[in-house]
Structure 1
């Protein structure tokens, strides 16, 4: 039930993103290179519409985009965006704690991504016998492991996470989902295979 509700919310957010995208479709005489220029991320805030709460990402030139789910954000971010967002979030919460649920969610996901905590990983291990999915967000080089019961873990490829051998083997058994075949996906699979097959001490 929870998974279906989350999928519906995700679909609604994607429809909203599509509506926003359709408003900037290139017209005759429009400079397409301007649309393809990457504008640096400069700020973020919480945005509420009706009863839904989103993260509003603000880029140079007052270009904004809203996201309801962290994994939707990862589909559109590259590594520089992630690092900049982490810096902005750390800066905002260096002197005070996040109070809003959406602020807390962003803080927790980014902290798990950049500074993994063993307790968070142990929480994921409890669910390792649930049906497991994992995918790679190519632009920001972040694998995402999720269970059917709604447990999520986002990881940076360059970091070593103290995952159990059982969970690593389960990740290998379940195929990595990628939008298109890439060298990065092959490297990630190779790294996980090597870690899973290290001799036990």
Structure 2
């Protein structure tokens, strides 16, 4: 006789077929706008918020979307608010500029929440005041010592404890401890 026993921690998603992203567009339904992700085989998914996309993406998806967005806006400017949102968030993520207004807003950060999306290697600092900072785990961003310290005293929200979360905490700690210039 065969008995099937569910194993805890088994990743069912790993057994599913993953379809690469081949295009994207802004999809409107009523008054709401979504980012529509088009995958090979015409598999589509829509995301209203950027962090919803991060929950569903892995690193390859994120890099492919950045490539497609960059290609589209290489010769034109985003005309739609949702297009601009996707462009700005991905540009900040992959090509952070020290003169971006976002980094000046750090002075207003006194209370934050910090989350790791380990499937795509992004961590997200956000406040009740609507300040959102998305960062790739492997990159360093122009964060102030105050923001870095707040990150360390705040619980890092993760789906599960893993090497990436421990390495991220170590990296942030090293940035705080680095001598000032």
Task: Using structure 1 for the length normalisation, give the TM-score.
Answer: 0.80
In structure 2, the partner of 1:24 is none
Q: Aligned residue for 1:50?
A: 30
Length, aligned pairs only: 169
Give 1:178's match in structure 2, choosing from 158, 161, 165: 158
Aligned partner of 2:47 in structure 1 is 67
Gaps (5+ residues) in structure 2? 1-11
Residue 93 of structure 2 corresponds to 113
Find the aligned partners of 1:34 and 1:185 in 2 and give their Cα distance.
21
- 1:90 aligns with 70
Q: Structure 2: how far apart are the matches of 1:192 and 1:120?
A: 22
Q: Which runs of 5+ in 1 are unaligned?
A: 1-31
CA distance in 1, matches of 2:33, 2:13: 32
Asked if 1 retains the 8 angstrom alpha-carbon contact of 2:103 and 2:142, the reply is no
The answer as to whether partners of 1:121 and 1:162 remain within 8 angstroms in 2 is no
CA distance in 2, matches of 1:109, 1:63: 24
Distance 1:121-1:50 versus aligned 2 partners, 3 A rule: closer
Structure 1 moving runs of 4+ over 2 Å: 32-35, 119-124
* Cα distance between partner residues in 2 of 1:176 and 1:70: 19
Deviation (angstroms), 1:200: 2.0
Q: For 1:166 and 1:74, how far apart are their aligned partners in 2?
A: 26
RMSD, aligned α-carbons: 1.7
- Contact kept in structure 2, 1:143 and 1:157, CA below 8 Å: yes
